[in-house]
Every structure is written in structure tokens, then in C-alpha cells.
Structure 1
Amino acid sequence: MASITSKLYFHIIKRNNDEFELAGISENKETWYVLPEEMKDLSLHEALSTKRAIINTINSIKPINGYRKICIKLDDELRKEYYEEDENLCFLDNMLEEKIIDNKHRDEPNDNFFNERIKELEAKLSLNDNFKLQDIEKKFILEKFNKKQNPTEWIEKFENECRRHKILNLTNFIEALRFFLSGSPEDWYESNLKKIGLTNWSEWRKSFLTIFADRSWKKIRTAYNYKYLGSSLIDYALAKENLCLEIEMSRINMIVMGLPVEIQNQLDREEITTIEKLFKELTKIDECVSNIKPKYD
């Protein structure tokens, strides 16, 4: 049986512009009671959502996934909504799941549920006070990604801009990224929000480079064909080295560079990772080469 209390703590999270979630209820900020997913929508909590303190609280939460923990003095209306006759916390006659935060055992999986949740949310709010997400489009020196740019170079520029503006938490990278996507990359972003969430920048980066990777041989052709035409030998060598560092001049690349451009364009560079795969692909199109007049860049 819960002890009789005169106040309750409510943990409120902003999920969308007009959607707020009641993530937990506590009598002492150590033991939290978690609602079932279908009961977390704050709009379902009629007595609570009409309180002036709650209205002011949700108006103060600006970023998506931002949160506040607020203490509310209990009145008869709230007590009726969140307690049953034996003074146990509940909601709509449903007993709530109990999660205990034990300061002495924070690293034990069963005891740090809310502690980890709070850390995650605090990370999302760790932007520099002088820099807000809505300002980044004005302050970043970066064009929007629309698949025409080199994805590796672009994502590195994006990360550098984040660091330059003191956006150091990797979760904030994800929230900032959405301001710099155009066209189908915007659909990719929305899809990844559902699949990955807002807590793993390394997975987002890996997905970005995989989906938008340059699968053509153009960059390799450029490096392979770059020749000295005059001026400084050092300048030529540095430029050639820089081009070669961006690719791996492997046996596969050397073989493909000797093929006509029309054949090169039929080969997916991301898929051909071994000599065996290259020969397999060449076998498929071998019988058609007699009709192709070789062209080279």
C-alpha cells in the first residue's frame, strides 16, 4: 500500500508539437510508476491536463522529446484520478508498473530504468544555451543534401559545422540533420526516425553513407586518368595523391578502368567487392560486348 501524500511528481515529455506524454508518476522521486503505452497520452488525463501548472509546463517545453518533471499539490480531483480506495497509485482503475531508482545501485539493469531515460532526454537538451536548433539554417555554412553531392564529403562537412557551433552531443546531430536535407533524403530521415530513433548517431551516419553512396566509377576514373599537364610537379603529385586517397586502386578498379564507359556503368561498384563477383557480373554481359563500340573518358 502506498503512503498517503499531499503531492505528486509528474514526468512529462513532448513527443510532437501538440502531443505530450505522461511518462511517469512518483510520490518521492525515487519510486516511479509507469503507465501503459495506451495511457501515456497526456490528453487522456483530464484532471491533470487542465491544471494551470501543467499548461504552463507544456508551453515551456520547446524541443521535441524535451521534458519536465513537475510537482503538483493533490486536490480531491487528482486524488480520485490517481488513487484507488486503498491509496495505491493507479489510473482508470489500472495499477501502474513500479520502477525504483536506487542511488546505490544505478548500474543494475532492473534499478536504473528512469535514470537512463532521464539521461537520454537530458542529452537531447544539451545544446549550447546560445545556440538553438531553429537557428542552424542561418548559421551553418552548408548546402542542403539532395543526392548530388558526395555523401562522404557532405556528412563530414555537416559534422564539422556541428562542432564549430558547439553542437557536441551526437544525439543533437540527428535533430540538426533534418534541416539540411532536400527531396528524397527527407523521406529517408523520417523512415530512420522510426527505425533508429534519436539516440545513435553512428547508425544514422552508417545508414546515410550506405543509402546515398556513389555507386558509379566516376571518381575512380578521375583519379586513374589524372595526368601531369604542366606547371609544378609537386602540385600535380599532391593533387593525384589526394584523389587516390579517396579511393582504393585495387585490382578490381584497375580491371574496370580498362573497360568501356558503357560497361563500367552497368557495374555496381558497391556490390562488386571481390574479383569473383566482378567476373560473375562480366559473364552476364559478356555476350553483348560485340555490339558496343568502346568509348573511354
Structure 2
Amino acid sequence: MEKLRFEFVVKQSEDPKTNVICITSITDTDKNMYLIPDKFQPAKLHEEIIKTQTFQKVKCTLQKRHERRHVWISLTQDLRNSYMDGDGNMQFKGYLLEQITSQTEQQTSAEALSRVLENFTELKKQSKQPNLKELCEKFVIEKFTKKTSSVTQWMVIFEAECTRIGIDEDIQKIQVFRLFLDDSCQDWYNSMLIKYTVNSEWCIWKKNFCETYVNIGWTPIRYAFSFKYRQGSLLEYALKKERLLLEINKSIDKHTLIDLIVTGLPNFVADEIDRNNLQETEDLFSSIRGLEYLINRRIVWTRDIDSGSKIKEKSLKDRPCRICEKEKKGTRYHPESVCWFKNRDSDRLKKEPIRSVNNSELEMSLNEIDPKN
């Protein structure tokens, strides 16, 4: 039995708020497509189609605007008379329908596919050149400097961040890598560009970087272990000490980590911490925060001593020197302990020899004195 394929599409009616089912094209078994003009597209004009059970299925299926279905309908005599004239030409209500051959359809499809591929290629190129500034803002990592303790551990964090952000290609990693190097490392990066270019493999850059900046000495380890509290916030000291220790050994035992942090605290602070209650570093940080008052109280007490010493020293400076007054050198204001005349008298007494005499010599000296005098 002969049949035709009708294309049903849900379109907007004259009222923008309502939809209407339309028939936009008819295709025969030879894949020849015939377009129906807009004025003849509403399904209510196709009385013979509406009577079929197939249309009832289409009506139940198409519920949203722009949905479409291609449905085959067997031709009855009434349908043939509605869509074909006596010579076999496709028509509707006396209007000859425009034919689109299969070749034209294939050409149109090829052109559409070509445009889609072009757009896809363009999008792919754009994805290969992302906005580096926006990507860097999403990274959670500090720049690498010469002071970074472990280059290997820093590289592990960098690659983990690249995976999280979605940077998988080597060229993208190399481009972003430059933005996380300190100025002192830019010479190394520029040298690598000259030797390998940005199109090289990431593993080459990674290996060269780690071998260049690996620290084989004991300085970072010595600094991390000997780092102690000097001044400021106790919590800030503890957090920095933890970071230094983790940078040199990420797998350090947590209890050892806690012990090393506490040993860097002043004894009068460490003695206030209950070691049995510390299971995690967070427990230690919580305890340290509650002991900040010890440092603040010590600072206030030290300031009081300093201010008292300054007041005492000031009062001594405001009083005139009695040694200068005794020596009739005028009124001078300075502490007596640093008076120049005091030091001079002391030196003079040291230089004069002390004469020792016995009683007989003293008696002879007194007899020789003239009584008249």
C-alpha cells in the first residue's frame, strides 16, 4: 500500500501564549520532500489527516513547542485526492507543493554538518587557549620561591590543582606553570622555552625543575626543627611550625608533630598544656589560643618594669648633681654615678701613696714643732 511521511511540528499560533500542531512537509517513498507553505501548515486545515488514528497519537505525543515527529501514514482514496492530483503531482487545496530532491536534501545536510564542524573546531581552539588569569584565580597554591622547602612536594600539589581545575594537556600546564614561579625562577623558565619550547612534554619540564631546585642540604630540616616562639601570637607560631614540618616530611607522625610544636613554646606556656588531651593538631591549636593571655600578661609586666626604670632615671636627671655643687662647678643635672669630678677624685686618691708611720716617729715629729707656732 502506498504511503507518505508527514512532518508534524509544534509552533506558536497567532496568540503567543498558545501552541498549534503544523504539518511542514510531505515525503514520498522515493525520499522526495515537498514543502507546505506557512498558510497551509496548521493541522486543522488537513481534515483527512485529523481523522486518522495516527494523528491522535501525534497529538498526544507533541506537548511542547518546537517538538517534531516524522510519521508515515498509509494513503486512502480521500488522502490521495487531498494531496495528489490526477497526474500524480503533490498538491494541497490546488496549490502545487515545492519539491526538494534527495540530492538537495543531502547537500543541505552536508552544508549544515560542515557548519557544525567548523563551529566545533572553533570552540575547540578556544578551549585550548583558556584565560590563564581566570584559571590561576582558582588555584589554591602559593608561588614557588627559592625559600620553598621541598620542590617535590610543591610539584605534587601543583599537579593535583591542575587536575582539579581541568588542565590535562601538557601545553596548558606549561603555560600556567609560569604564573606560579617567583621572579628568581623566571630565568630558568625562559631557558627551558629556548631549549624545549612550549610544545614539549610536561614530564620533561617537571623532571628538569625538580632536579634544578631540589634541596639536598640540611638547612630546611634544621630550620624547621629549631624554629621557636620569639614574639607575637602563639597560634601564628604553631601554624607556621606545622607548615615547616609538613613541608619537609608530609607523612610525619601526628604525635611527633605535636611534640615538636610544643617544644618550641616557652616553658611557662608549654607547662599549662595537658599532653594527654592532644590527639590532633587542632586540639593543640585550641589549647594554645586559650593561653594567649599568658603572653599578653608578661608583655604588660615587662612594660611596667621598663616604664618604672625610665621614671627613676628621669627623676635622677632632674635633680642637680651634689658633687658638682661641692666642687663649685655650677648647677649641673646628671646622675652622680656618672659625674666626671667623682671619677677624677677617685683616680687622684688611687695615685697618692699612703704613708705608714709608727708611734715613735710621730712623737719625734711633734717635738720638733715650734711651740710658738
Q: TM-score scaled to structure 2, two decimals? A: 0.26
Larger Rg, first or second structure (1 or 2)? 2
Q: TM-score scaled to structure 1, two decimals? A: 0.32
